[in-house]
A = this chain, B = another copy of it.
Amino acid sequence: MKFAVTILGSGSAKPTVERLPSAHVLNVHEHFFLIDCGEGTQISMLKYGISASKIDHIFISHLHGDHYFGLIGLLNTLHLTGRTRMLNLYCFPELREIIDVQLRASATTLSFQINYIYLNLTGVEMILDNKCVSVLSFPLTHRISTCGFLFREKKHSRNIRKDFVSNHNIPLEWFPRILSGEDYIDEQGNSYPNSSIVLRPGKSRSYAYCSDTSYDESLCPVLYGVSLLYHEASFADEHEAIAKLKFHSTARQAAHIAKTSDAGALIIGHFSSRYKDVTVLLEQAREVFENTIVAEDGMTYNVLV
C-alpha cells in the first residue's frame, strides 16, 4: 500500500527558478493530502502528474505567504473544473477571510463547499481520523501562529494467509472465527494455531511535517518514532543567529530533532534562497543524523516503516 510524499516546493519565502515555496502532497493508499500550498503549487501538480481533483484535504500550516499564496488559484481551478465534492481545509481562521474577500472581488460562488477546520495552539489535537489515516496537529514556534502535522496510516486489518486459504478447503463459517483469533481445526481434527495462519497488521507508517519553526525539543515526544520527518532547515550553522532571530532552524538543528525523535528518516527543506548549493546543509545535518536527504522539487519519497 502506497505511503509516499511528493515535494512540490522546497524553497522558502523568496522563490527561485529551482525551488518553489512550500507544498507537499502525501499519498496514503491512493488518498491524497496537500500540505501547504505556496505560489505555483497547481502548476507543479500539472508538471508532476498529481491530480488536484483527487485532493479532499488541504492543510495550511500558517499564513506566511510562501505557505499558502497558491491556494486561491488552486481553489479557482477546482471551481472552473466543476468540482462539487466538499473540500476540507485545515487552517487558521484568517484564511477564510482571505479566500472570501477574493471570491467576492471576482463575483465567484465556488461550485463546491469548503469545510473549514480551524487549528489551535493549545496542544496536540486530532484533526482528522478516517479509515486510512489519522492526522494530529501540533503547535510550532514561529513568528505567527503555526502548526505542524503528523500523519499516521491506519493499521491494515488482519488477514488469513492466502496460501493457507488456497491449500485448505476452509468452510465459510470458519473465516470470522479465525480472524477473531481461534485456532482452525479441519474436518479431520487437525489443529492449526491461529498465529501460523493469520497475518498480523504491519507497523503503521507515519509522516510529520514541521514547516517553519525555531529549534524546539519539546516537539520530540510528539514526533517520537515517526517513519519520515520533514523538518525545515532554512539556514546553515554560520547563520544560526539569524535562524533564531527569524524563528527558523538550521539543518543541524533539524537533524537533532530527528535524532532525539528516533525518526526513521529526515527530509530537510525550506532553504533560504541565499544557498545556491545546499550541500553544506546536508553535510551539517548528516553529522548528527545520517539518514537525511535534501528536498528537491518534484521528488517523491516512499515512506518506509
Give which listed residue, B14, B40, B69, B104, contacts A80 with CB less than 8 A. Answer: B14
Residues of B contacting A107 in the complex (Cβ-Cβ under 8 angstroms): 143-144
Closest residue on chain B to residue A41 by CB atoms: B39
Known interface pairs A94-B105, A97-B101. Does A43 touch B17 (Cβ–Cβ under 8 Å)?
A: yes
Residues of B contacting A76 in the complex (Cβ-Cβ under 8 angstroms): 13, 65-66, 69
Q: Are B80 and A13 in contact (CB under 8 A)?
A: yes
Q: Are A94 and B104 in contact (CB under 8 A)?
A: yes
Q: Are B69 and A73 in contact (CB under 8 A)?
A: yes
Task: Report if A77 contacts B (CB, 8 A).
Answer: yes
CB distance from A81 to the nearest CB of B (A): 7
Name A64-89 residues within 8 Å CB distance of B: 64-66, 69-70, 72-73, 76-77, 80-81
Q: Are A42 and B15 in contact (CB under 8 A)?
A: yes
Known interface pairs A39-B43, A40-B40. Does A98 touch B94 (Cβ–Cβ under 8 Å)?
A: no
Closest residue on chain B to residue A13 by CB atoms: B80
Interface residues on A, range: 35 or more
Closest residue on chain B to residue A63 by CB atoms: B105
Task: Report if A172 contacts B (CB, 8 A).
Answer: no
CB distance from A142 to the nearest CB of B (A): 11
Name A10-63 residues within 8 Å CB distance of B: 13-17, 20-21, 39-40, 42-43, 46-47, 63
Residues of B contacting A80 in the complex (Cβ-Cβ under 8 angstroms): 13-14
Give which listed residue, B17, B46, B143, contacts A46 with CB less than 8 A. Answer: B17
Q: Are A14 and B65 in contact (CB under 8 A)?
A: no
Give which listed residue, B15, B20, B69, B101, contacts A101 with CB less than 8 A. Answer: B101
Give which listed residue, B15, B47, B105, contacts A98 with CB less than 8 A. Answer: B105
Give which listed residue, B14, B43, B65, B105, contacts A102 with CB less than 8 A. Answer: B65
Q: Compute how far the CA of A102 lies from the CA of B20 in the bound complex, rounded to whole angstroms.
A: 20
Task: Report if A242 contacts B (CB, 8 A).
Answer: no
Q: Compute how far the CA of A68 lies from the CA of B95 in the bound complex, rounded to whole angstroms.
A: 18
Task: Report if A106 contacts B (CB, 8 A).
Answer: yes
Residues of B contacting A72 in the complex (Cβ-Cβ under 8 angstroms): 65, 69
Residues of B contacting A77 in the complex (Cβ-Cβ under 8 angstroms): 13-15
Residues of B contacting A69 in the complex (Cβ-Cβ under 8 angstroms): 39, 69, 72-73, 76
Q: Compute how far the CA of A66 lies from the CA of B76 in the bound complex, rounded to whole angstroms.
A: 9
Closest residue on chain B to residue A81 by CB atoms: B14
Q: State the A residues within 8 Å of B (CB).
A: 13-17, 20-21, 39-40, 42-43, 46-47, 63-66, 69-70, 72-73, 76-77, 80-81, 92, 94-95, 97-98, 101-102, 104-107, 143-144
* Between-chain CB contacts (< 8 Å), 8 pairs: A16-B46, A39-B43, A40-B40, A66-B73, A94-B105, A98-B98, A98-B102, A105-B144
